[in-house]
Amino acid sequence: MEHFPQAVSINMQPYDRNGVGPPATAFGPTITSFVQPEPVPSSQDFVLWSFFNAMFCNPFCLGFIALVFSIKARDRIIAHDQAAAGSYGRTAKHLNIAALCLGIVVTIICIVLLALYYNSLLASRNV
């Protein structure tokens, strides 16, 4: 009860031109193989993360410096200099991590200090 088509083998032999002259050569399907080169991992430039840090988390101007290194990395990517792009990209990433961590720590410290200040202010009014 199988409805699959049966396998058919076609043997294509060269034929002559109306029986006159040498047999013609058979032009079968052309097989083209293409070997893709290994893709080179592109370097990351972290421009959006650097822009965010430059606008919102910029302690000691680390976000701005990270933005500068990100732009340098993007320029090197466009110039097809992967070694320099990787170096600038790693520097930008490390500066972004430092800027974000310091920005979060400073924000938490400010919130805690404000909470303590308002708590002491409310405590002094109740006395």
Q: What confidence tens digit (pLDDT) does each residue in 11-69 have?
A: 655 555 565 555 555 565 666 666 777 766 778 999 999 999 999 988 899 999 999 99
Predicted TM-score of the model (pTM): 0.64
Domain ranges in the chain?
47-126
Query: Residue 30's pLDDT is what?
Result: 63
Cα(29)–Cα(16) distance, rounded to whole angstroms?
A: 19
Is the pLDDT at 77 greater than 70, yes or no? Answer: yes
Query: Residue 124's pLDDT is what?
Result: 87
Q: How many CB atoms lie within 10 A of CB 57?
A: 20
In the chain, the percentage of residues whose pLDDT exceeds 90 is 57
